[in-house]
């Protein structure tokens, strides 16, 4: 079974976000505040969600048959 691009790309980015969020935890790096960390994670998550819906819409648009007007 082939994974659709609209699911695979955001899933890979979400996995990357989780790994980077754990790595950049403010307790490990004193120069990062909790506010910066939370805002960064929320903005990145919003971008991933937007990308998912954009790719779903694009995939749906590509799969609809074109009507020929003659």
The dihedral over CA atoms of 26, 31, 33, 36, expressed in degrees to the nearest 10, equals -100
Residue 2: predicted pLDDT: 78
Angle at 16 between CA 23 and CA 44, to 5 degrees: 90
Residue 22: predicted pLDDT: 93
pLDDT tens track of the chain, all 70 residues? 777 888 999 999 999 999 999 998 888 888 888 999 999 999 999 999 999 999 999 988 888 887 766 5
What are the residue boundaries of the structural domains of the chain, listed by start?
5-59
The number of beta carbons lying within 10 Å of the beta carbon of residue 22 is 9
Minimal CA–CA distance to 41: which of 5, 8, 16? 16
Residue 69: predicted pLDDT: 64
**Rounded to two decimals, what is the model's pTM?**
0.81
The dihedral over CA atoms of 12, 17, 22, 24, expressed in degrees to the nearest 10, equals 140
Residue 29: predicted pLDDT: 80
């Amino acid at each position: 079974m082939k994974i659709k691009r609209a699911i695979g790309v955001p899933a890979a980015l979400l996995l990357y976000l989780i790994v980077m969020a754990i790595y950049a935890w403010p307790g490990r790096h004193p120069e990062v505040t909790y506010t910066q960390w939370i805002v960064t994670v929320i903005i990145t998550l919003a971008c991933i969600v937007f990308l998912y819906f954009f790719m779903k819409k694009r995939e749906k648009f590509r799969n609809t048959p074109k009507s020929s007007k003659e």
